[in-house]
Structure 1
Amino acid sequence: MPHADNLISTLVAAFVLAFAFGMIANRLKLSPLVGYLIAGILVGPYTIGFVADTTLAPQLAEIGVILLMFGVGLHFSPADLMKVRKVAVPGALVQIASATGMGWLLGRFALGMSDVEALLMGFALSVASTVVLMKALEERRQNKGEVGRIAVGWLIVEDLVIVLALVMLPMIVLPAGSVIDPGALGLNVGWTLVKVAAFVAAMLFVGGRVLPWVLVRIAHTRSRELFTLGVLAIALGIAWIAYQLFHSFALGAFLAGLVLNGTPLGHNAAERSLPLRDAFAVLFFVSVGMLFDPTILWREPLAVLGVLAIVLVGKTVAALAITSAFRLDRATSLTVGASLAQVGEFSFILAALGMSLGALTQGTHALILAAALLSISLNPFVFLIMDRLGGNPPGVRQDGEINPATA
């Protein structure tokens, strides 16, 4: 059994290196995600030394995607989103459209990509990381204030768009050389939307009654292990059903978390799933790093600078323009702009889906990963620049609320 230890070797290498480089990143005041990605690069096929199992890692990462989306659903608050809907919903949609357009222009006219590949690259660059955002807001004590609610609501809308895109892209992105029948495509997309709506309705109305009842019965056993196992079984089980129906684990996992979020035991479910979610999220970021070819940084430096400029400058300027149009004060606009100047986990998921569909090349995938790694690393400095421009006190109090006397 020469390969019997592949799983153990992959897990050991991933966790040990992720911990080491995550600590180094944290000491450097960077997001630990940077350390996890670097750990993946070191055990990937593009660097010398130990190479982790490149077939096992993506499967483990898929579990990480499920638990990440489950966590998004568990922490999704429709009430909080409704409070900022007038800014967050149109703002997120316009910002996604503008960043996708910038990515298309760069890819189509500067990098020689096809329309589909350029659009998909721009779409991947348009979405920011909720994990990075929440860490930045917590460090600035703005997660509870109006600024935090707007920024988080904005990203929640982006997350919802991505969940839908993950379901729709396999039907819209066809193999090269395929003849597109607009009528058949429209019918296929329409039917899928009907099935998605029916699945969402079933989860919210039927699952909203059955799952809480199941959790209560499990809680009556007074067994922490059974409760944790039950929460994990619900998340993975519903994600698997969604995959069978729509080829998307993300939709089912998100809906499972959303349903449990509204139950009396939703807080306990979130608490029990957190350690597993964190562990597999680390594996997800490590596996993403394994796919990154670092040589692109010196092979195509102008292309890397181009995609990085879209994330750091283009998205920030677009957010500032949108928030200014909604007459938000200077401090809020600058903070929201800085919050969006990065890309993360959903960009990775979209890029991986694009590669599996044959719509993205390995080089374009590497460009997206380079933009993510560099933008996450530079995001704290973007916040510092925004602070210099007036994004922090005196316009914002330490609790994150806007101070009308000084804003």
Structure 2
Amino acid sequence: MPHADSLILTLVGGFVLAFVFGMIANRLKLSPLVGYLVAGIVVGPYTGGFVADTTLAPQLAEIGVILLMFGVGLHFSPDDLMKVRKVAIPGALFQIAAATFLGWGLGRLLGFGNVEAVLTGFALSVASTVVLLRALEERKQVKGEIGRIAVGWLIVEDLVIVIALVMLPLLIVQPGETLSGGELAASIGWTLAKVAVFVGAMLVVGPKVLPWVLVRIAHTRSRELFTLGVLAIALGIAWVAYAMFHSFALGAFLAGLVLNSSPLGHNAAERSLPLRDAFAVLFFVSVGMLFDPSILLREPLAVFGVLGIVIVGKALAALVITHRFKLDRATGLTVAASLAQIGEFSFILAALSMSLGALSRQTHDLILAAALLSISLNPFVFALVDRLGARPKPPAKGSEEGIALAKEEAAAVNPATG
């Protein structure tokens, strides 16, 4: 059995190097995601030395995608979104449209077909939740108006991506296949009907069944069984969604959304967090393994172009919307800087597009290069907007933001009170 140790070697190599490079990135005041991606590049087939199992890593990454989407559902708050819906919904949709249009234009200049060019722009339009929350937490703005707007904005982007992940396999015609307009419409209609039935069942039956199951498990007073129960729900529902319409993402998201509304939703999030973090790391490592760093030397102008769309194009689109809704300068600049990067959902969309034959390896590498560079440059973007007037002001002591900040500081000093 020459490959019997491939799983162990992949896990050891991925986790150890992700830890080492993640620590280095953290010391350099960069997001640990940069370190995880670099770890993947190091163990990938495009660099010398140890090479991880390139067929096994994507399967581990798929589990990471499921748990990431489960986490998005667990932390999705319809109430928070409704508070900022007047800005977040049109802002997110406008920014997605602007980035997609700019990506299409750049893609056509680079010689891409229309479908590949549109998918490139679409992949560049979605910011990373992990990077955004980290930046706002460092600035103590998660609980304030700026944080609510930025997070609500990102929630809308995430929902658009979930829908896209379901619909994309239907819209991409494989080479050699021909579909008439009627056949395509019938296929889309049938899939949408299955999605509607699945979503309806989850939102109607799920809130009655899943919390009941969790309560029964909690009565066993076994932490292990509760954790296994949460993971079984997430993975099981994701598998059902995949069997119905080839999308792990929607099932995992809905499972998290239903559990989020249950009395034990907080406990479910807490129990699944360590495993979600671990497989999320493997997800980013596997993405790095797919990246050929030589594209930075082979196509520097193309890399510069996609990076310009992410940092400049998306930021300007956010500024247009925030100005249109008469938000103050500091809020507009901070939201723009928060969204001037791309991450996990761009990777997922690019990988799916490549597997469907709609995206070339080179275009996939361009998107990964834009992600790696934009995440690395995000702290410098914040430093720039601070100079332009986005530096956060300390909230008044008696205000809602001031009270929330005081609680966070007290929890940091004495975790038992948090």
Q: Could you state the TM-score of these two structures normalised by the residue count of structure 2?
A: 0.94
CA contact (8 A) 1:240 1:252 kept: yes
Which residues of 2 match residues 115-154 of structure 1 at below 5 A?
A: 115-154=114-153
Q: Which residue of 2 aligns with 1:85?
A: 85
CA contact (8 A) 1:147 1:401 kept: no
Equivalent residue number for residue 294 of structure 1: 293
Relative to 1, partners in 2 of residues 1:74 and 1:140: Cα closer, same or farther, differing over 3 Å? same
State the Cα distance separating 1:179 from its structure 2 match: 3.3
How far does the alpha carbon of each residue in 1:224-271 deviate from its partner, in whole angstroms, 9 at most, with x for none? 000000000000000000000110100000000000000000000000
Q: What is the SS of the residue equivalent to 1:358?
A: coil
Deviations 1:146-179 (A, max 9, x none): 1000000000000000000000000011124543
For 2:209 and 2:258, locate their aligned partners in 1 and report how far apart those are by CA, in whole Å.
10
Separation in 1, partners of 2:184, 2:123? 23
SS in 1 for 2:292: coil
| Equivalence for 1:368 | 367
Counterpart for residue 70 of structure 1: 70
Could you tell me how far apart the structure 1 residues matched to 2:186 and 2:151 are?
35
Give the SS at the match of 2:29: coil
Matches within 5 A, 1:104-115: 104-108=104-108, 110-115=109-114
How far 1:120 moved relative to its partner?
Answer: 0.3
Contact 1:243 1:249 in 2 (8 A): yes
Moved more, 286-295 or 181-190: 181-190
Per-residue CA deviation, residues 117-166 of structure 1 (Å, 9 max, x unaligned), is: 00001000000000100101101000000100000000000000000000
The equivalent residue for 1:405 is none
Match of 1:390 in 2: 389
Q: What amino acid is aligned across from residue 320 of structure 2 in structure 1?
A: A
The whole-number CA distance in structure 1 between the counterparts of 2:250 and 2:95 is: 23
How far is 1:187 from its partner? Answer: 2.4
1:184 Cα deviation after fit: 2.0
Q: What 5-or-longer segments of structure 1 have no aligned partner?
A: 403-407
Distance 1:311 1:243 in 2: 31
- 1:285, distance to aligned residue in structure 2 (A): 0.1
Q: Distance in 1 between matches of 2:190 and 2:156?
A: 23
1:59 paired residue number: 59
Cα distance in 1, alignment partners of residues 375 and 39 from structure 2? 15
Which residue of the partner structure matches residue 164 of structure 1? 163
Q: Is the 8 A contact 1:146 1:400 kept in 2?
A: no
CA distance in 2, matches of 1:151, 1:313: 17
Shift of 1:207: 1.1
**Partners of 2:96 and 2:309 in 1: CA distance:** 12
Contact (CA 8 Å) 2:139, 2:392: kept in 1 or not? no
Give how far 1:190 is off.
2.3
Checking the alignment, whether the CA contact within 8 Å between 2:100 and 2:120 is kept in structure 1 is: yes
Deviation at 1:198, TM superposition (A): 1.5
Is residue 27 of structure 2 the alignment partner of residue 27 of structure 1?
Answer: yes
Residue identity opposite 2:24 in structure 1: I
Q: Secondary structure at the match of 1:54?
A: coil
- Alignment match, 2:343: 344
SS at match of 1:229: helix
Unaligned runs of 5+ in 2: 403-418
Give how far 1:309 is off: 0.2
What's the TM-score once normalised by structure 1's chain length? 0.96
Task: Work out the CA distance in 2 between the residues paired with 1:179 and 1:267.
Answer: 48
- 1:332 maps to 2:324: no
Residue in structure 1 matched with residue 240 of structure 2 by the alignment: 241
Matched position secondary structure for 2:205: helix
Distance of 2:75 and 2:174 partners within structure 1 = 37
Contact kept, 8 Å, 1:46 with 1:293, in 2: the verdict is yes
Question: 2: CA distance between counterparts of 1:339 and 1:329?
Answer: 16
Would you say how many aligned residue pairs link Structure 1 and Structure 2? Answer: 401
Q: RMSD between aligned alpha carbons?
A: 1.5
1:155-214 C-alpha deviation (Å, 9 max, x unpaired) = 000000000000000001112454342222122212222221211110011011000000
Q: Tell me what 2:202 maps to.
A: 203
Once superposed, which parts of structure 1, at least 4 consecutive aligned residues long, lie more than 3 Å away? 176-180, 393-402
In 2, are the aligned partners of 1:121 and 1:364 still within 8 Å (CA)?
Answer: yes
